[in-house]
Structure 1
Amino acid sequence: MKLTFGAWCYAMADNSGAQPRVTAIIVVFNGERYLREAVDSIVGQSFVDWELLVVDDGSTDQSSAIIRGYEQRLPGKVRLLSHHDNRNHGISASRNRGLAEARGAYVAFLDADDTWLPEKLSEQVSIMESDPALGMVYGRTLIWHSWDEAADCADFHYPLGVEPDARYEPPVLLELLLQNEVQTPTTCNALMRSSLFATLGGFENSFRLMFEDQTFFAKALAFAPVYVSGRIWARYRQHAESCSVASARAGADEAARIAFLKWLNGVMADQGASFRIRSAIWKVLARETWKANKRSIKRRLQR
């Protein structure tokens, strides 16, 4: 029997009092242009045991109104959240706001301009439940240009940097990530066990732009077993307004990486990380600082 959209919404909302298996979190800041497409990619998952928390980070457009419409159609499944003062606090603080309200055994994030493929949650939950020791699973992310018919670049995905469809013990993936030899577990792709956030903490509020995702992922890769899949589960939309494009345009990537490494060094010390982890950070931080200083001296001499 084919369900109408109204009947499907009723079926989805009927078990709203139960604890969901997955909490999906979207942070939106003036993201009305792509927001419906992001939300629809969650609503359209083949795995239906989820809740969606959308954190409005001080938007002045119609983002909140869009989500209120989903709240009405899917009561108990979709919830709109905001900060206490309704102001902009940045993506890290907003993700933490969502985490504070999450009820699921697993957590997955989606940026308001990206989308999930329909089997993402079904396949990822299956992997996580087959190995209770796993802290996280991630796969390939499609670098998505073709959403724009005028794009002059083809879609692609970055190499994973490791053999796919395998479990990795910590801190192997962190060491490779520090060397830029492995794809980072993108926030739109990864599925994490909620207990990992309870153990390691969430995102660092002071990181409002670049490397904000790695303030959590680095901790996860340092301490938790992770499964890396060869499957593509998410599409990462490429456009001129994205945070990564804005940072590269401003020439801020190098300074942001050094700030992240300094922060990570302190966090690993506080959490009692092994000498293996600490020394890997020291080596990369020393190299990146030396390269930055060398470029700075060269620029001064050229004036």
Structure 2
Amino acid sequence: MATQPGIAMTMDKDAMVSVITCFYTEEAFLEETIQSVLQQTYTHWEMILVDDGSTDTSTEIAQRYAHAYPGKIIYLQHEGHANKGVCKSRNFGIANARGTYIAYLDADDVWLPDKLLNQIRIFEENPQATVLLEASEYWYSWQDTARKNIVIDIGTSPGKVYTPPELLMQLYPLAKGAAPCPSGMMVKRSVHDHIHFAEEFTGDNAVYEDQAFLAQLYLTQKIFVSSQWNNRYRQRQASQVYNVHQQGRYHRVRQYYLEWFRRYLNDHAIHDADIESLLRKALLPYHYPLYYSIFYTLPAKVRSKAKRVVRKLLNRMP
């Protein structure tokens, strides 16, 4: 994305961004991720690298950069070099952050050079917003140069601030609109005074950890949705998301999230008829699979078969 001339001169130089990157055994990608932060045109940032018990050379890579950029790149690890999962690691990093803003960068993704500059500008132009979401480039060409990358816009109208709970009603996983990727997000530090990553999302269920965090934002925060994209979301077969889908465990993970969200609404005394209606519909295939099959899945299959029969009959007509 191009940067508008003169933007840097209007920036609040005291607005530090804390970049939170958690990693577990990411030696193939971590250095490229760190370099994409070092190349940012907005330079008032700190990068907090949280080692989630890595067993490869990514620990040494992170420590080397922390040594080379003292006070700028910070290396953290859990006690005993333990593996505690991405949510506890993110919360650990946030607890040690000094910035006015918090941005998240997954350890296999990268940012374009103007990512922070563009997002700080948007916050300054929309001071009522506490959260910023942007589109993402789904990055395939890193591995196969013949394959085109795809920019996925967030599934709602961009360029405006949404109030709670509008985005919950429009975006995945309760609705059809495409959800944002963590590496495209930025929030004001005050958001984390009351909202944290849900640490019960571990193992396969960590596939939905970002959705659990986003649900809390949708319910409480004013959120600016940008059409810009300044992040590349690496697509690879070794990812947890890919494996959960390929090995047929996705619906188990989705049900876990939906049940968690139902408990969250109850625990926080949130009663909204529209949200509850969407949630009941989302849970139908898990709570009432026969009903769901008859009233949702089966009619679609019947319609498809009917169309094929009609086409055959038409083709036989003289």
- Normalising to structure 2: TM-score of the pair? 0.81
Report the CA distance shift for 1:100/1:280 in structure 2 as closer, same or farther (over 3 A): farther
Report matched runs for 1:24-39 at 5 Å. Answer: 24-39=19-34
CA offset at residue 204 of structure 1? 1.2
From 56, 64, 70, the equivalent of 1:69 is 64
From 217, 230, 240, the equivalent of 1:220 is 217
What are the ranges of 5 or more consecutive residues in structure 1 without an aligned counterpart?
1-17, 299-303
Report matched runs for 1:1-303 at 5 Å. Answer: 21-149=16-144, 153-177=147-171, 178-199=173-194, 201-208=195-202, 209-276=206-273, 278-290=275-287
Aligned-partner SS, 2:279: helix
CA offset at residue 21 of structure 1? 1.4
Aligned-partner SS, 1:33: coil
What is the rounded CA distance, in whole Å, between the counterparts of 1:37 and 1:78 in structure 2? 14
CA offset at residue 295 of structure 1? 8.9
Counting matched residue pairs gives: 279
Q: Is the contact made by 1:140 and 1:189 (CA closer than 8 Å) also made in structure 2?
A: yes
Report the CA distance shift for 1:50/1:288 in structure 2 as closer, same or farther (over 3 A): farther
CA offset at residue 91 of structure 1? 0.9
CA offset at residue 68 of structure 1? 1.5
What is the rounded CA distance, in whole Å, between the counterparts of 1:278 and 1:139 in structure 2? 24
Aligned-partner SS, 2:286: helix
Bigger radius of gyration, 1 or 2? 2
CA offset at residue 97 of structure 1? 1.1
What is the rounded CA distance, in whole Å, between the counterparts of 1:172 and 1:135 in structure 2? 15
What is the rounded CA distance, in whole Å, between the counterparts of 2:211 and 2:77 in structure 1? 23
Q: Which position in structure 2 is the counterpart of 1:6?
A: none
Q: Is the contact made by 1:25 and 1:109 (CA closer than 8 Å) also made in structure 2?
A: yes
What is the rounded CA distance, in whole Å, between the counterparts of 2:80 and 2:290 in structure 1? 41
Aligned amino acid, residue 280 of structure 2? K
Aligned amino acid, residue 273 of structure 1? I
CA offset at residue 269 of structure 1? 2.1
What is the rounded CA distance, in whole Å, between the counterparts of 1:128 and 1:69 in structure 2? 33
Report the CA distance shift for 1:78/1:285 in structure 2 as closer, same or farther (over 3 A): same
Aligned-partner SS, 1:213: helix
Q: What RMSD, in angstroms, separates the aligned Cα atoms of the two structures? A: 2.3
Aligned amino acid, residue 187 of structure 1? P
Report the CA distance shift for 1:36/1:271 in structure 2 as closer, same or farther (over 3 A): same
What is the rounded CA distance, in whole Å, between the counterparts of 1:102 and 1:239 in structure 2? 30
What is the rounded CA distance, in whole Å, between the counterparts of 2:253 and 2:188 in structure 1? 28
Q: Is the contact made by 1:19 and 1:103 (CA closer than 8 Å) also made in structure 2?
A: no
Identity of aligned residues (%): 30
What are the ranges of 5 or more consecutive residues in structure 2 without an aligned counterpart?
1-12, 298-318
